[in-house]
């Protein structure tokens, strides 16, 4: 089973409408960490060139790398109200995914099984801490959505949400999510760099000599 995380939070806010009852806004956060794939599409020279151009380049050319990205999308639906005169509940689903998760190991490593397995375990550790930081990021986003009320909306009796209303809600969600994205990127980079302990790097360089 691919690792996945489903977190749902309900945030109740009320917006004034033209009818006697008010519209209840429910925000659900649906989060998923995609499975990690492994490939050897790049040579060690290719990987060294990529590492050299990276903002935080390594001292020694790495035998591979791990990469991932976070994406989010918003969908919303206005549920039918009790009568035609009143709008129903507004449901907003915020999908946040840790995706594009891939471990790349230099092609030459596929012919050196003693090193390949050690290199793979090394980048699997980076993928694991990346997933852990992602979970913490979600907790921060959930708390922020609870603490930040949605914009004041005028929702009529139409069966669909107007383009202007949809845009305002999407902008609100994006602002709340993105305001914590920079600190998340810093935290995930620090967590993955912390895997590169002296002992870990020694195991990488001495794997074949140890007959691993």
In a domain, 48, yes or no: yes
> In the predicted model, is pLDDT for residue 3 greater than 50?
no
Percent of the chain with pLDDT over 70: 75
Report yes or no on 3 lying in a domain. Answer: no
Region label for 85, one of left (φ > 0), alpha (ψ between -120 and 50) or beta (otherwise): alpha
Interior angle at CA 181, CA 180 and CA 183, nearest 5: 70
| Lowest mean pLDDT across 37-46, 72-81, 125-134, 154-163 | 154-163
Q: What is the mean pLDDT of residues 55-81?
A: 79
Residue whose C-alpha is closest to residue 141's, from 90, 197, 79, 98: 98
pLDDT of residue 182: 85
Residue 182 falls inside a structural domain: yes
In a domain, 185, yes or no: yes
- Strand 64-78 with 90-105, pairing: antiparallel
Quick check: is 5 in a domain? no
Does the residue 211 lie in any domain? no
Q: How far apart are CA 126 and CA 123, in angstroms?
A: 5
Calpha distance 198→51 (Å, rounded): 19
Q: Model's pTM, two decimal places? A: 0.75
Q: Is residue 98 part of a domain?
A: yes
The residues that bridge with 103 in the sheet, in sequence order, are: 38, 66
Q: How far apart are CA 27 and CA 83, in angstroms?
A: 23
Domain membership flag for residue 6: no
Q: Which residue has the higher pLDDT, 182 or 134?
A: 134
Domain of residue 56: give its range: 13-206
What total of structural domains would you count in the chain? Answer: 1
Alpha-carbon distance 212 to 199, whole Å?
15
Please, which pLDDT band fits residue 158 given cuts at 50, 70 and 90? low
């Amino acid at each position: 089973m691919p690792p996945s995380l489903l977190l749902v939070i309900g945030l109740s806010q009320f917006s004034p409408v033209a009818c006697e009852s008010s519209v209840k806004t429910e925000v659900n956060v649906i989060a998923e960490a995609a499975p990690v794939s492994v490939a050897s599409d790049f040579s060690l020279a290719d990987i060294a060139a990529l590492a050299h151009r990276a903002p935080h380049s390594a001292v020694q050319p790495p035998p591979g790398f791990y990469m991932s990205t976070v994406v989010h999308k918003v969908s919303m639906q206005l549920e039918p109200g009790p009568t035609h005169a009143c709008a129903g509940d507004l449901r907003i689903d915020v999908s946040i995914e840790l995706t594009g998760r891939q471990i790349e190991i230099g092609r030459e490593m596929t012919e050196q099984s003693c090193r390949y397995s050690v290199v793979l375990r090394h980048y699997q550790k980076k993928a694991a801490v990346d997933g852990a930081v992602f979970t913490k990021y979600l907790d921060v986003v959930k708390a922020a959505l609870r603490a930040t009320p949605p914009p004041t909306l005028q929702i009529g009796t139409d069966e669909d949400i107007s383009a202007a209303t949809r845009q305002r809600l999407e902008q609100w969600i994006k602002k709340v999510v993105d305001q914590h994205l920079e600190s998340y990127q810093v935290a995930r980079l620090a967590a993955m760099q912390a895997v590169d302990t002296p002992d870990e790097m020694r195991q990488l360089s001495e794997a074949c000599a140890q007959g691993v």
